[in-house]
């Protein structure tokens, strides 16, 4: 059976979130994922689904040198569950929380595919938090030494331990552990990759897995992040962004004229921002919003389309001074676009005013300096390692195992980039060097040994969005081998879908039916193999 449309699992897969290539120090709180308001209020959800914990070994790999000194400690891993649909013989369906607090995933116990699958299969729905995230914190701080146990391998072993040992309150008389009960995994983005890896590494424990937007190929220098944006975003916006990036780079990168570069920064109201790479990073904020777009304006990130409308409009949208008008003309010439001056002038003025109104003015209103809001060069900040410094967690995983460094410098010369070539590996690895004293590349072999683009296993569903910036790190990447989708190995690419995708009802209903169909087929296979026919 060939699937013509994709599943609605992409509706929550934005755990690797829409954000600029480098998150400024002052913006970490703004770029962390907030709890979803999908469904009941948070307080109601925590009352409905009380927090549970299971004691888990901190170090599952006592013979691996990289975890030395080893530890015999245990910690409390959080989970939540809904057994309201459970009937004898039903499965356990586990949604992996990924690199955020598991509490933010509670709405999916009530609505969405987790709830739909639990209901359709008479199963128990579970949300499982990832070690170190939320309150599943196993160490006294987030120092580099204590983060050595924050690896995908250890987190996968947590999942296996959980499934082999969990006892659900109210169902103590039922043995719902794996492999005596079929456990089906479900995850998106990083968690989507994790569940795919789990199906390959622990096939005797996990009967099936559904990977949504799963980044199964770890890539150190991931310049391809912006390729789906270049190919699928509104083309008038793409081309205008490319022009402005080229103009900026002609001045700030290739021109090497400090005076003109300073004028450029002042034109964008960023003259007080010390480092030019930080300046280029701020200019990337608008185009980076593509990941948060959606077919539904009520859900879609609004900044991306406001950005596009602003930079492609020929009439002035903001009041500008005569001095700004003259400076715009001067910068267009310095950026080697003088022959297009008349067409570009108002658009460039609009762009600068947009940056000021959207990013600079709010920073000023907070009484902060531009370096505080948008800087990334603060050694004192990177020394903080108490457990409030949640930014240290995913960044550590990036620097040690996953990579995904999004640059403009890596874009081939024959393609005009969507972000400045000033955003290079040296800049995007600042956190690796300053926070963890890591100067080499991440060991992506730890992840890619499971298959990377070619990861495949019976009862492993691969579901991606065609326009997802993370598609090029998935089995649906442009140069990955094509596959046929079957009920045993669903391989689904949703046309035009991005990373954080809530499909229209007409697609959602059909895609939910497809997912329920293949999961039910998997469970029939389990019954047959275990003599339950």
Number of other CB atoms surrounding residue 386 within 10 Å: 10
Say whether both 214 and 233 belong to one domain: no
What sign has the CA pseudo-torsion 169, 174, 180, 186? negative
Say whether both 462 and 409 belong to one domain: no
Say whether both 195 and 232 belong to one domain: no
Backbone angles phi and psi of 282, in degrees to 5: -60, -40
In a domain, 3, yes or no: no
pLDDT for 299 equals 40
Say whether both 421 and 491 belong to one domain: no
pLDDT for 505 equals 55
In a domain, 39, yes or no: no
Domain boundary residue, one of 373, 408, 436: 436
In a domain, 22, yes or no: no
Is 173 catalytic? The answer is no
Contact present, 494 and 463 (Cβ < 8 Å): yes
Statement: the pTM of the whole predicted model exceeds 0.75: yes
Say whether both 297 and 393 belong to one domain: yes
Q: Considering 269, 468, 474, 511, which one is annotated as catalytic?
A: 468
Say whether both 236 and 308 belong to one domain: yes
What is the rounded distance in angstroms from the CA atom of residue 500 to the CA atom of residue 300?
9
In a domain, 69, yes or no: yes
Domain boundary residue, one of 393, 415, 436: 436
Look up residue 67 and give its two tokens: 């975890």
What is the rounded distance in angstroms from the CA atom of residue 108 to the CA atom of residue 99?
16
In a domain, 155, yes or no: yes
In a domain, 190, yes or no: yes
Say whether both 312 and 361 belong to one domain: yes
pLDDT for 272 equals 98
Q: Which parts of the chain sit beneath pLDDT 70? A: 1-19, 27-43, 293-301, 498-511, 533
The SS3 call for residue 96 is: strand
pLDDT for 28 equals 67
What is the rounded distance in angstroms from the CA atom of residue 6 to the CA atom of residue 10?
9
Say whether both 280 and 382 belong to one domain: yes
Domain that holds residue 518: 8-16+49-218+445-529
CATH code at 90? 3.40.50.1820
Domain boundary residue, one of 436, 459, 488: 436
Say whether both 408 and 276 belong to one domain: yes
> Which ranges of 291-356 does DSSP label H, i.e. alpha helix?
302-311, 322-334, 341-355
In a domain, 330, yes or no: yes
Q: How many structural domains is the chain composed of? A: 2
Q: Considering 159, 163, 189, 511, which one is annotated as catalytic?
A: 189
In a domain, 44, yes or no: no
Say whether both 145 and 209 belong to one domain: yes
Say whether both 269 and 408 belong to one domain: yes
Say whether both 235 and 276 belong to one domain: yes
Is 525 catalytic? The answer is no
């Amino acid at each position: 059976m060939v699937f013509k449309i994709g599943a609605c699992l992409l509706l929550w897969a934005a755990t690797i979130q829409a954000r600029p290539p480098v998150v400024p120090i002052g913006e970490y709180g703004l770029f962390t994922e907030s709890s979803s308001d999908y469904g009941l209020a948070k307080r109601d959800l925590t009352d409905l689904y009380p927090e549970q914990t299971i004691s888990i070994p901190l170090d599952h790999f006592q013979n691996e040198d990289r975890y030395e000194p080893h530890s015999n400690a245990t910690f409390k891993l959080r989970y939540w569950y809904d057994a309201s649909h459970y009937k004898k013989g039903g499965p356990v369906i586990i949604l992996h929380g990924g690199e955020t607090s598991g509490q933010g995933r509670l709405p999916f116990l009530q609505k969405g595919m987790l709830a739909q699958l639990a209901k359709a299969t008479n199963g128990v729905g579970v949300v499982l938090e990832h070690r170190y995230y939320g309150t599943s914190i196993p160490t006294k701080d987030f120092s580099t030494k204590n983060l050595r146990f924050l690896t995908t391998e250890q987190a996968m072993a947590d999942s296996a331990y959980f499934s082999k040992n969990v006892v659900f309150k109210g169902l103590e008389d039922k043995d719902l552990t794996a492999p005596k009960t079929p456990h089906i995994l479900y995850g998106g983005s990083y968690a989507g990759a994790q569940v795919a890896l789990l199906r390959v590494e622990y096939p005797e424990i996990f009967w099936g897995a559904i990977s949504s937007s799963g980044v199964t190929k770890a890539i150190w220098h991931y310049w391809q992040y912006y390729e789906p944006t270049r190919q699928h975003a509104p083309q008038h916006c793409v081309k205008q962004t490319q022009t402005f990036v080229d103009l900026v780079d002609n001045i700030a990168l290739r021109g090497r004229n400090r005076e003109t570069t300073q004028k450029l920064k002042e034109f964008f109201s960023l003259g007080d921002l010390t480092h030019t790479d930080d300046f280029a990073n701020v200019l990337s904020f608008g185009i980076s919003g593509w990941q948060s777009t959606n077919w539904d304006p009520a859900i879609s990130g609004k900044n991306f389309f406001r950005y596009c409308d602003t930079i492609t409009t020929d009439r002035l949208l903001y009041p500008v001074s005569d001095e700004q008008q003259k400076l715009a003309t001067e910068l267009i010439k310095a950026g080697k676009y003088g022959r297009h001056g008349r067409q570009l002038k108002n658009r460039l003025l609009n762009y600068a005013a947009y940056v000021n109104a959207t990013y600079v003015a709010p920073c000023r209103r907070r009484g902060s300096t531009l370096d505080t809001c948008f800087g990334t060069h603060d050694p004192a900040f990177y020394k903080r390692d108490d457990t409030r410094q949640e930014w240290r967690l995913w960044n550590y995983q990036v620097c040690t195992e996953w990579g995904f460094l999004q640059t403009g410098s890596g874009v081939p010369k024959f393609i005009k980039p969507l972000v400045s070539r000033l955003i290079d590996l040296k800049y995007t690895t600042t956190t690796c060097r300053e926070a963890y004293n890591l100067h080499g590349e991440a060991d992506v072999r730890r992840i890619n040994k499971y298959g990377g683009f070619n990861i495949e296993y019976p009862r492993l569903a691969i579901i991606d969005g065609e326009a997802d910036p993370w598609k090029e790190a998935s089995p649906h990447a442009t140069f990955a081998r094509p596959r046929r989708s079957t009920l045993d190995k669903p391989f689904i690419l949703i046309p035009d879908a991005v990373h954080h995708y809530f499909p229209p009802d007409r697609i959602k209903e059909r895609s939910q039916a497809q997912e329920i169909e293949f999961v039910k087929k998997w469970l029939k296979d389990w019954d047959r193999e275990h003599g339950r026919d």
